[in-house]
Structure 1
């Protein structure tokens, strides 16, 4: 009787996950179409369709294929990367408030990117492909520091200590970044300020190519580890009893999460709260099983950043609001809500 009930429950969960993922894909496609026609230069639906099939004029093709489409694709890749990174951080730490931004991972990646921008020329095409690797190095060192400070022998990662350590490390790195901005020339300062705000307005197809390998390699790996993450979400004692090498698997998944966050930050700058909000909403929609949670988180993250960037382009035309500011307006109240809820 128990096995029949469990089978029925699992079947309902899979059906709900499929329905949620289908709806999210439909919403992303809708946002994709709306975003293609959002901006100072407007096109009718007919002109947009003609341009997509190569029948538009030079200006329409320039705006759509060189400005808007790469920006839309980058938004979706960044959103998926940050959301998956957040889901990993929350899973391995068993802490609902874990997020690559809050834990300081994004700040570590950002500091290295700022150091490179401050002391080396960034006009070369190769810098676009180099920045994700540099960001990964900075984020990895930060993650290692946080991991060592929050780890306790025989008890593993301490969730509360993880958050407090991450916040402290992020604050220290942010202070270093502020000092660094005071020592660079005005032209680079403007570039850095725009990047810190989480603007993806200057992205092009090179940024897509720089970010795509990280997503293509790490995303299937994380999905492959969904069963392992289900085990790690249990207590260390239970996970070990089921045959999992907890510390080794945590380090592997942490490296994947750092890679996703760092590559995204290298391209987008300071887009925060996506890794916090998307996994939480996904967990409410599809439940705690990572087979459904991970794809739902990725799709929600892609949708969130795409919508944020579209709103930023639309709300104050012809000026633009960076996507990072829009996500902060959405994410900060949600974070405070979660903090208040966790105290109850």
Structure 2
């Protein structure tokens, strides 16, 4: 009887978490569309979106510039912030589950740096691969992130036979530092205009991004998301350890490879369109796991929703806190994420010391 009531309470809690997360997404998205130097009423915003989506023909009295502000500037920006935040948070949840530690995320283990290098190479050398066209940027960014991940794990395997999180983070820092020096060299070799463009891009932002950037991200985000959501059972099993996972019938090697591919797809494509935005994949999954529990069936989708809403909110702060000037969104996430990362690191150390 007690188990039944406990299960019902747990189910109600999860349902309310989904309701809250969905409401958080809708609330932040509405704020992102509303708050700006030009005030547009909520009914007008909905009319513009509906008319451009399904052509309802309600916009006779709405000025063309107002329609353009909502449809061509604010809406793609809000959507892109959501997709980028969702991708980074979901990738972070996967890395944390795979490595069994809340300190792992795309930023701390070097994946974001590798993806940034791939994107910088495309931007600097104006590379366009035949057959890919505009998708050259996210593809090379994803490849760069995956190569960086392989290098990090290679260094870990050379230095020790265990995947200790301290070793992984140290290897991630080493790889990130090396990649940063290559990016600095590329910037130094360029002219002033390309230097300014790349430096500002590296700070991380969704400013001046349009529907073309949303279209670039969506295919890779959908693919990476489906891969990870389909393998939540493997992440739950890996939480018990690789040997225990194999004993209950999980193909550990296949599961790890697919999870790494899915997380790399999400990270690389997000970095390609927004630049390097740190700590989203660290903070959001950890907080979600504290509230919802360790089951990745819920950790993954809740991280997706919460991460997307969080980045919309961070972008809103970045563009309003010193208006009319605008901060890179990566500055806001770092100001929030760095102290949280330090706290988690100390907590991890203290926990191991107690044992």
- Which of 164, 171, 188 is matched with 2:170 structurally? 164
In structure 2, how many angstroms separate the alpha carbons of the residues matched to 1:6 and 1:80? 34
Q: Which residue of 1 aligns with 2:55?
A: none
CA distance 1:209–1:53, change in 2 (3 Å): closer
SS in structure 1 at match of 2:189 = coil
In structure 1, how many angstroms separate the alpha carbons of the residues matched to 2:157 and 2:14? 34
Tell me, yes or no, if structure 1 residue 339 matches structure 2 residue 336.
no
Question: How far has the Cα of 1:131 moved from its partner?
Answer: 0.7
In structure 2, how many angstroms separate the alpha carbons of the residues matched to 1:182 and 1:107? 18
Q: Deviations along 1:178-212, whole A, 9 cap, x unmatched?
A: 22211111111111111111011021111111110
Question: How far has the Cα of 1:104 moved from its partner?
Answer: 0.7
Q: Deviations along 1:233-290, whole A, 9 cap, x unmatched?
A: 1122211211223233112111111111000000010111000011011101110000
Tell me, yes or no, if structure 1 residue 94 matches structure 2 residue 100.
yes
Question: How far has the Cα of 1:47 moved from its partner?
Answer: 4.2
Q: Mind listing any 5+ residue stretches in structure 1 that lack a counterpart?
A: none
Alignment of 1:30-49 (within 5 A): 30-49=27-46
Tell me, yes or no, if structure 1 residue 20 matches structure 2 residue 17.
yes
Question: How far has the Cα of 1:45 moved from its partner?
Answer: 3.4
Q: Is the 8 A contact 1:89 1:257 kept in 2?
A: yes
Alignment of 1:1-344 (within 5 A): 8-54=5-51, 55=59, 56-120=62-126, 128-151=134-157, 157-344=163-350
Question: How far has the Cα of 1:228 moved from its partner?
Answer: 1.1
CA distance 1:183–1:142, change in 2 (3 Å): same
In structure 1, how many angstroms separate the alpha carbons of the residues matched to 2:297 and 2:11? 9
In structure 2, how many angstroms separate the alpha carbons of the residues matched to 1:152 and 1:158? 13
Question: How far has the Cα of 1:151 moved from its partner?
Answer: 3.5
SS in structure 2 at match of 1:252 = helix
In structure 1, how many angstroms separate the alpha carbons of the residues matched to 2:44 and 2:95? 44
Q: Is the 8 A contact 2:127 2:136 kept in 1?
A: no
Q: Is the 8 A contact 1:152 1:158 kept in 2?
A: no
Q: Is the 8 A contact 1:135 1:265 kept in 2?
A: yes
TM-score normalised by L of structure 2: 0.90
In structure 2, how many angstroms separate the alpha carbons of the residues matched to 1:160 and 1:248? 25
In structure 2, how many angstroms separate the alpha carbons of the residues matched to 1:249 and 1:342? 26
In structure 2, how many angstroms separate the alpha carbons of the residues matched to 1:170 and 1:154? 20
Q: Is the 8 A contact 2:227 2:259 kept in 1?
A: no
Question: How far has the Cα of 1:12 moved from its partner?
Answer: 3.1
CA RMSD of aligned residues (A): 2.0
SS in structure 2 at match of 1:157 = coil
Q: Is the 8 A contact 2:227 2:258 kept in 1?
A: no
TM-score normalised by L of structure 1: 0.92
Question: How far has the Cα of 1:221 moved from its partner?
Answer: 2.0
